[in-house]
Amino acid sequence: MKDFINSLYRNHSLVYKILLYISATFLIVYLFPKSGKFKYNFERGKPWQSENLYAPFDFAIKKTSSEVNAEKNEARNQAILYFNLDPDVKQQVTASFLEQYKSVVPDSLSNTTKSNLKEVGGDVIDKLYKKGVLDQDYDFSLNKKVVILENRIERSSGIYSDLTKQSDLRTIINSELVKKNLEEYFNQFTSLFFDIVEPNLTYNKAFTEKALKNELSKISYTRGSVERETLIISKGEVVEGDKYQKLKSLEAEYESQVWSDSNYNWIVFAYTLLVALALLMLLLFLRKYRQDVFDNNTKVTFIFFNIFLMVLLTTLVVNFDAQYIYVVPICILPLVLKAFFDARLGLFSHVITVLLLGSIVSNSYEYMFLQIIAGIVTILTVSELYKRANLFISVGQITMIYIVAYFAFFVIHEGSVENLKWETFGLFVLCGLATLFVQPLIYVYEKIFGLVSDVSLLELSDTNSKLLKELSNKAPGTFHHSLNVANLAEASANEIGANAMLVRVGALYHDIGKMKNPTYFTENQSTGINPHDELSSKESAGIIIDHVINGIEIAKKNNLPDRVIDFIRTHHGTSVVYYFYSKEKKINEQVDKLDFSYPGPKPFSKETAILMMCDSVEAASKSLKEPTSTKIDNFVENIINKQMAEEQFLNANITFKEIQAIKKVLKHKLANIYHLRIEYPE
């Protein structure tokens, strides 16, 4: 058990990558649709691109959503309204009328008039309660069918306009009084009836909704069926009308019945295999071509996180409304990865992501073609991302490529431009605008993952920054030396295609450790006094060597990125402080060379190797007396060849051809610095 734990500890980096790989696979599969995917792509109004399609099994033809909605609306319009009847209300109102009507009828009236008034009251009550009096005015259509329920038993039926509203009371009273020529008693009767009339109909909402739900459940979602081996559509036919609905029905059948619960596990397993295979290719690419990235778990996590983020965004948009799929700024992925790593890794990751998204979107071929072309254009056009104008120009080019490619696909499918969907072009413009969000996103990633981009490098290259200001004040000679090295290193990096901005920043900060003891370095000794004269060779070498350690401490204290600190660590590699080593050796033959050697490590990239060469050449060039072109050439050759002999560039991915190119740049630059001129004969 102990051996197993020790083995896990020794291989913890690999174990982490395996867990990350498994987690990413399952998270992406979780976002995928959990149904079978219809193997044919088709769109309404476009020609059928595949071979003749025959029904693989019997299936029903589904109605369109508009047909189903029309039937539902019809059912709602024809729905019956149910009202509960209280049978005792009419008797109570009649009794109240007989009891109270004498109070409004003067005794001076004739018996005939009194009898007529009593008859009118009875007629009013009969008319009010013929169908029933509503408890309130409802906002229903007048032609709506109604059913009156008494103790849950249907008593009568009709339409909503037959029912009496309380607002109708005045009209009914007036009409009955007019019949008997007794209009002068309208106010008295109205006052009386407003006191005694009570509603006897109450809307039964629950029963009405239950009846409507029952009617809606009877609606069929299919119309007709297609038998097995029946021709559904021929190659080249336009997908429209009944053929389109048959294809949609077949597609739905695949996703529901064909891919049933019994096949669910197989579908998930198949998706898992595809996703795992795609992510494995990415890991193998990193292992083979980007070993430094592969060895850094933070960087691998960063790449996987961005891929998952693109899949998540696309899934959310597809689930919301698939027509907005082109709004998702997929090109942010290669932009971000190129900003932090390189173009090749950015493009490879982009292609892997688009392949994964092909399982989510419809018209996967068209989508994948557009996104891969856009990704290639992104990699080819976006350079020097820290320049804002470059990003706007590149986004414009990406948007144009989207529009041109979509236009081409549309013409291929339609054969004309008459029905061109201009709103889709608007989606591409929105996608381009969303891509501009890459700038703040890069800043956020730098803070979260501790990475550094060219944008941050540009900020660090500002010589007015706090740390470089401090260097120029405490060690002005070192600061001037760093500026010269930065210019040489930048020119050399441009010559061999290395990261010029990174090597320039590394050069500016590589000697910040000299701020601790500036006068112990010759470039800062302006008074002619050399403090090394009072120290032993070993002590002097220790102070010189310590500027690397001091530089690392100062850099970390000022939160410089690790990529910049790497230049401080490696700019002397494991070389020897030869002046003091030779001085000590004259005194003591048994001197330990390690006491006079820098701790390393050796340069492990093109950029750190460039800095070592430029730093050594620039520092030593100060000792050149009466420099000539020949002297400079030999001088540069000797210094760099010595470094190569000491195997200082063994861990750096730099070639002999590139080293020769760097030598050529350094010779040319030094010749310009010392203003060499051709000696003309007198």
H/E element, 62: strand 59-62
**C-alpha to C-alpha distance for 571 and 503, rounded to whole angstroms:** 11
pLDDT at residue 414 in the model: 66
**C-alpha to C-alpha distance for 278 and 355, rounded to whole angstroms:** 8
Asked whether residue 253 carries a pLDDT value surpassing 90, the answer given is: no
Tell me the average pLDDT across 402-431. 78
Ranges 115-124, 429-438, 654-663, most confident: 654-663
3-class DSSP assignment, residue 394 = helix
Asked whether residue 44 carries a pLDDT value surpassing 80, the answer given is: no
pTM of the model: 0.62
Tell me the average pLDDT across 61-69. 81
Strand partners, 164: 133
Give the CA angle between residues 112, 118, 124 to the nearest 5°.
135
pLDDT at residue 282 in the model: 94
Two tokens, residue 13: 């980096």
Question: Among 28-37, 365-374, 527-536, which stretch is predicted with the lowest mean pLDDT?
Answer: 28-37
Nearest to 371 by CA among 413, 326, 427: 326
Assess contact for 467 and 512: CB atoms under 8 A.
yes
DSSP states along 96-130: HHHHHGGGGS-TTS-HHHHHHHHHHHHHHHHHHTT
Two tokens, residue 591: 């001197």
pLDDT band at 480 (very low <50, low <70, confident <90, very high): very high
**Domain spans, the chain:** 20-35+262-433, 73-216, 454-673
Tell me the average pLDDT across 86-111. 78
**C-alpha to C-alpha distance for 49 and 43, rounded to whole angstroms:** 10
Assess contact for 132 and 148: CB atoms under 8 A.
yes
pLDDT at residue 666 in the model: 92
Strand partners, 145: 159
pLDDT at residue 505 in the model: 94
Nearest to 249 by CA among 230, 223, 216: 223
DSSP states along 611-639: HHHHHHHHHHHTT-SS--HHHHHHHHHHH
Tell me the average pLDDT across 302-327. 88
pLDDT digits (tens, 9 = 90+) for 577-599: 888 878 878 887 777 788 888 98
Tell me the average pLDDT across 224-250. 79
**C-alpha to C-alpha distance for 646 and 508, rounded to whole angstroms:** 25
Nearest to 240 by CA among 42, 51, 41, 412: 42
Assess contact for 326 and 405: CB atoms under 8 A.
no
Residues in the chain: 682
pLDDT at residue 364 in the model: 76
First to last CA, the chain: 88
pLDDT at residue 644 in the model: 93
pLDDT band at 347 (very low <50, low <70, confident <90, very high): very high
DSSP 603: P
| Helix, strand, coil percent content, the chain, rounded in steps of 5 | 65, 5, 25
DSSP 323: G
**C-alpha to C-alpha distance for 116 and 274, rounded to whole angstroms:** 93
Phi, psi angle pair for 605, to nearest 5°? -155, 165
**C-alpha to C-alpha distance for 285 and 175, rounded to whole angstroms:** 94
pLDDT at residue 488 in the model: 94
pLDDT at residue 217 in the model: 87
Nearest to 39 by CA among 225, 324, 330, 258: 258
DSSP 79: P
**C-alpha to C-alpha distance for 300 and 298, rounded to whole angstroms:** 6
pLDDT band at 453 (very low <50, low <70, confident <90, very high): confident
Please list, in sequence order, all residues whose beta carbon lies within 8 angstroms of the beta carbon of residue 270, skipping any fewer than 6 positions away: none
The angle, 0 to 180 degrees and rounded to 10, between the axes of the packed helices 500-509 and 466-474 is 50
DSSP 436: T
pLDDT at residue 603 in the model: 93
Asked whether residue 676 carries a pLDDT value surpassing 60, the answer given is: no
Q: What is the mean pLDDT of the chain?
A: 84
Which tops the pLDDT comparison, 238 or 262? 238
pLDDT band at 478 (very low <50, low <70, confident <90, very high): very high
pLDDT at residue 264 in the model: 72
**C-alpha to C-alpha distance for 318 and 194, rounded to whole angstroms:** 61
pLDDT at residue 36 in the model: 55
pLDDT at residue 40 in the model: 67
Tell me the average pLDDT across 416-422. 69
Asked whether residue 510 carries a pLDDT value surpassing 60, the answer given is: yes
**C-alpha to C-alpha distance for 377 and 346, rounded to whole angstroms:** 12
- Which single residue is written with the structure tokens 């994964």? 356
The angle, 0 to 180 degrees and rounded to 10, between the axes of the packed helices 111-128 and 186-196 is 50
Fold exhibited by the domain 454-673? Hypothetical protein af1432 (1.10.3210)
pLDDT at residue 56 in the model: 77
Tell me the average pLDDT across 356-364. 81
- Which single residue is written with the structure tokens 């690392």? 552
pLDDT at residue 591 in the model: 79
pLDDT band at 384 (very low <50, low <70, confident <90, very high): low
Tell me the average pLDDT across 548-561. 92
Strand partners, 47: 238
Tell me the average pLDDT across 308-333. 87
Tell me the average pLDDT across 331-356. 90
Which tops the pLDDT comparison, 656 or 156? 656
Assess contact for 364 and 477: CB atoms under 8 A.
no
Give the CA angle between residues 344, 454, 443 to the nearest 5°.
105
pLDDT digits (tens, 9 = 90+) for 596-628: 889 879 998 899 999 999 999 998 888 777 777
Buried-exposed string 580-607: b where 16+ CB fall within 10 A, e elsewhere: bbebbeeeeeebeeebbbbeeebbbbbb
pLDDT band at 21 (very low <50, low <70, confident <90, very high): very high
Question: Among 95-109, 209-223, 286-300, 506-520, which stretch is predicted with the lowest mean pLDDT?
Answer: 95-109
pLDDT at residue 402 in the model: 85
Assess contact for 188 and 241: CB atoms under 8 A.
no
Which tops the pLDDT comparison, 40 or 559? 559
pLDDT at residue 387 in the model: 64
Tell me the average pLDDT across 660-667. 93
Radius of gyration (C-alpha) of the chain in whole angstroms: 44
pLDDT band at 303 (very low <50, low <70, confident <90, very high): very high
Answer whether the bond into residue 601 is a cis peptide, omega within 30°. yes
Asked whether residue 69 carries a pLDDT value surpassing 90, the answer given is: no
Please list, in sequence order, all residues whose beta carbon lies within 8 angstroms of the beta carbon of residue 358, skipping any fewer than 6 positions away: 364, 367, 368
Two tokens, residue 178: 């007019």
Asked whether residue 240 carries a pLDDT value surpassing 70, the answer given is: yes
The answer to whether the Cα torsion of 254, 259, 260, 261 is positive or negative is: negative
pLDDT band at 508 (very low <50, low <70, confident <90, very high): very high
pLDDT band at 262 (very low <50, low <70, confident <90, very high): low
Nearest to 329 by CA among 388, 389, 423, 399: 399
Asked whether residue 132 carries a pLDDT value surpassing 60, the answer given is: yes
Pairing between strand 222-226 and 231-233?
unpaired
Work out the widest C-alpha separation in the chain, in whole angstroms. 157
pLDDT at residue 549 in the model: 93
pLDDT at residue 35 in the model: 58
3-class DSSP assignment, residue 511 = coil
